[in-house]
């Protein structure tokens, strides 16, 4: 029995870690997409070279601020703080963990039945979020700067394999 338990322990631990990293990735993308949506679509930022060309013109273009690299980089530096607004939910049939917002963006009451809210969960999620944001910063900026569809699946499942088990997880909207 001890040998069987010892053999199962690493898989349970690995699954917990995979659930955590998958959940952190999906929450990170949700938060970034929500933050982008809060920016006035008319707000722009000047991009390009500020050098003067030989003809006296400048190669400066205005791009929407919400999806600019400058804005996305700024968001990536602080978005993982939002992980303290998440709790852990365990699927009763598969025992897989997922992470859900426990504080809504707009103040509406949320159904928190079966959600574990605790500081250890929040700090683990924040740490995982920070490591994903750092490791996949270029990919996040690439996907989010171009208004890509299904960024969660494309980044968290296909590009990184953080959620290779999760291609069947239903899309949740914030």
Structure tokens, 15:
């699954």
Determine the pLDDT at residue 4: 47
67 CB-near residues (< 8 Å, 6+ apart): 36, 144, 145, 146, 147
Q: How far apart are CA 121 and CA 84, in angstroms?
A: 8
Closest alpha carbon to 153 in 166, 140, 144: 166
93-111 confidence digits (pLDDT tens): 988 999 999 988 888 888 8
Contact between 102 and 115 (Cβ < 8 Å) = yes
Q: How far apart are CA 100 and CA 118, in angstroms?
A: 13
Average pLDDT over residues 32-46: 92
**Quick one: three-class SS letters along 17-28?**
HHHHHHHHHHHH
Model confidence pTM above 0.85: no
Looking at the predicted structure, is the pLDDT value of residue 165 above 70? no
Determine the pLDDT at residue 158: 86
Determine the pLDDT at residue 14: 62
Contact between 69 and 48 (Cβ < 8 Å) = no
133-147 confidence digits (pLDDT tens): 999 999 999 999 887
**Angle 129-150-75 (CA atoms, 0-180°, nearest 5)?**
40
Over the range 43-53, which residues count as b (16 or more CB within 10 Å of their CB) and which as e?
A: eeeeeeeeeee
55-108 confidence digits (pLDDT tens): 877 777 788 899 999 999 999 999 999 999 999 999 999 889 999 999 888 888
Average pLDDT over residues 116-145: 93
């Amino acid at each position: 029995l001890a040998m069987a338990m010892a053999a199962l322990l690493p898989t349970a631990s690995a699954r917990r870690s995979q659930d955590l990293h998958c959940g952190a990735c999906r929450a990170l993308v949700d938060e970034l997409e929500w933050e982008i949506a809060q920016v006035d679509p008319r707000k722009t930022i000047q991009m390009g070279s500020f050098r003067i060309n030989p003809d006296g013109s400048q190669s400066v273009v205005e791009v929407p601020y919400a999806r600019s690299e400058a804005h996305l980089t700024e968001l990536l530096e602080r978005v993982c703080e939002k992980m303290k607004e998440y709790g852990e939910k365990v699927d009763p049939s598969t025992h897989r963990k997922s992470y859900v917002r426990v504080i809504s963006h707009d103040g509406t009451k949320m159904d928190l039945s079966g959600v574990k809210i605790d500081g250890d969960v929040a700090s683990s999620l924040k740490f995982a979020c920070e490591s994903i944001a750092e490791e996949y910063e270029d990919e996040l900026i690439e996907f989010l700067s171009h208004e890509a569809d299904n960024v969660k699946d494309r980044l968290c499942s296909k590009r990184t394999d953080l959620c290779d088990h999760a291609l069947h997880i239903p899309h949740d909207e914030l």
